[in-house]
Structure 1
Amino acid sequence: MELKWLEYAKKLQSIAQAGITYSKNKYELERFEQIRDISIQILQNYTDIEHAKIRNLFANETGYQTPKIDVRGAIYKDNKILLVKEKNDGRWALPGGWADIDTSLSEAIIKEAKEEAGLVVLPKRIISIFDYKKHAAKPLPYGVYKIFVECELIKGSFKNNIETSESGFFEPESLPPLSLNRNTREQIELCFETRKKQCHEAIFD
């Protein structure tokens, strides 16, 4: 369950962002800026993150606030799934990351698989679309939808890069320590289960 103070801070930020975007009255704009500052102060008081970084990550967008999109590619070989070792925490995850504004879902998956694992893949079907806050242990100051996509491996091999240090294929019972902000054990197990099904309806929430 999401922490109440974080829920309130996110709601205040969302209200402020929409108000700053659509209001034409200078007095209302001033009030919405104050609401945004309050949301930043709440985060600053409950975390160790400095004010400037919170504003950059949490309160730098314009327009109506919507969730960010994180994509993850499930790539298989035999009865194993590909994981990459993240350099920033030393733990393992399905290749993926934030979707760029100018890419489709398939293009984002193809890009991440190439950059993080050195592989050429063909996205086949959506496994699931999860709301991050319902499935992860660490709260974030913004909403995230995580999209898991089953992929066909075409060719390629791992190449050293700025984000990951190695890759490997793992069986479900021998998964390495996972980067839980990126994927949970349950989510990877779902990828294995989906692999066995000829027909699959995407799971969401």
Structure 2
Amino acid sequence: MDRKKLWLDWAVELQSLAQAGLYYGKDKFDRERYARIREIAAEILAFQGDMPLEKVKDLFCCETGYQTPKLATRAAVFQGERILLVQEPKGWALPGGWVDMDISVAENTVKEVREEAGLEVRADRLIALLDGERHHTTVYPWKVAIAFVLCTLVGGAFQENLETTASGWFPLDSMPPLDWEKTTREQLELCFRARAAVHWHTLLE
């Protein structure tokens, strides 16, 4: 096993245990110990992940309650045999992002397409709920689950925005350079298979 990945996994587990202890623990001395364990986990992540400690603490040490995975959405929108991609700073990707606290997965999917591509869509079907660690190399201090949602195009046109610089429709055999941290070739193939299937069984990891 990759030693660096092992250290990062240990740090994430320590943080999760410490966060639960801080939330449920009543003894003030135990809470001090849990807080220190959380700091050590952040120090490990900063050292092994080559990140500034203060940035890690901002991401890693601000949540309360029992730690659960972060949820993100990616929209699969088709026009004929082409799929919608948006241009991110590191390459092209399916429209998507973190799910906001006050809306549903379907609503978030529609919102992200509107914000990143200027298009109105209808969220129709859950293609897959994937474990981010199994498909992406990005290091996060938490578990990430990604919901891929098949959508129907309703209307609209690309609008300038703060997140993407362009949008386009691409066939599977002619993809632009992808942002592998957000969308992989395997995930695009999955979306095309889901669209073509008469009866699609949601892929659950």
- Pairwise TM-score range, normalised by the shorter structure: over 0.9
Instruction: Output the CA distance in 1 between the equivalents of 2:204 and 2:136.
Output: 15
Indicate the SS of the match to 1:172. Answer: coil
Instruction: Output the CA distance in 2 between the equivalents of 1:158 and 1:67.
Output: 32
Instruction: Output the CA distance in 1 between the equivalents of 2:167 and 2:10.
Output: 39
Instruction: Output the CA distance in 2 between the equivalents of 1:104 and 1:22.
Output: 28
Deviations 1:33-53 (A, max 9, x none): 110011011012112211111
1:68 — aligned with what? 70
Deviations 1:47-70 (A, max 9, x none): 221111101112210000011001
Deviations 1:101-147 (A, max 9, x none): 00011110110010000000001100000000011123322110000
Identical residues among aligned pairs (%): 44
1:186 — aligned with what? 186
Deviations 1:52-91 (A, max 9, x none): 110111221000001100100000001000000013x2x0
1:95 — aligned with what? 95
Q: Is contact 2:8–2:49 with CA below 8 Å preserved after alignment? A: no
1:34 has 2:22 as partner: no
Instruction: Output the CA distance in 2 between the equivalents of 1:171 and 1:102.
Output: 34
1:51 — aligned with what? 53
Instruction: Output the CA distance in 1 between the equivalents of 2:201 and 2:195.
Output: 12
Structure 1 letter corresponding to 2:103: T
1:142 has 2:142 as partner: yes
Instruction: Output the CA distance in 1 between the equivalents of 2:182 and 2:42.
Output: 25
Instruction: Output the CA distance in 1 between the equivalents of 2:161 and 2:14.
Output: 38
Task: Give unpaired runs (5+ residues) of structure 2.
Answer: none
TM-score, normalised via structure 2 length: 0.96
Counterparts of 1:1-205 in structure 2, within 5 Å, are 3-87=5-89, 89=90, 91-205=91-205
Displacement of 1:151 after TM fit?
A: 0.1
Structure 1 letter corresponding to 2:108: A
Structure 1 letter corresponding to 2:81: N
Indicate the SS of the match to 1:64. Answer: coil
Displacement of 1:183 after TM fit?
A: 1.4
Structure 2 letter corresponding to 1:138: T
Instruction: Output the CA distance in 1 between the equivalents of 2:7 and 2:173.
Output: 37
Structure 2 letter corresponding to 1:103: I
Q: Is contact 2:12–2:141 with CA below 8 Å preserved after alignment? A: yes
